[in-house]
Amino acid sequence: MAEVLSGDEVSVYGRLIGLSASRFLFMGFLVNETQDRVASTAEALVAFADMSVRRVAPFPPDVAARIGALVAQHNALDWEAPLSGIMAA
């Protein structure tokens, strides 16, 4: 989205978008602070794996509650995340 040059100051931000029983949708932003521009975005769907059964499984209740609280906080922001529209939690 925008070039980052050697010596530019950058910041990385994350935003949780959605949550299901076993997945969450996350978006990351690389901001070029020197140019005051978003340099790059990344969108990822993350699944919880229970390694005792080696399968995707529901989040433990305490983990789901913490992720859910962050999703609610991030969804209350006053700007719309530029989602691809292909992925959903």
> Residue 2 domain-assigned?
no
Q: Give 24's contacts (C-beta < 8 A, 6+ positions apart).
A: 16, 17, 18, 45, 46, 67, 71, 89
pLDDT at residue number 38: 96
- What span, in angstroms and rounded, lies between the C-alpha atoms of 70 and 75? 8
> Residue 62 domain-assigned?
yes
Structure confidence by residue, pLDDT tens digits, 13-70:
999 999 999 999 999 999 999 999 999 999 999 999 999 999 999 999 999 999 999 9
Asked if 89 contacts 74 with a C-beta cutoff of 8 angstroms, the reply is no
Structural domain range at position 71:
10-75
pLDDT at residue number 27: 97
> Residue 34 domain-assigned?
yes
> Residue 84 domain-assigned?
no
pLDDT at residue number 87: 85
Domain count of the fold of the chain: 1
> Residue 85 domain-assigned?
no
pLDDT at residue number 88: 85
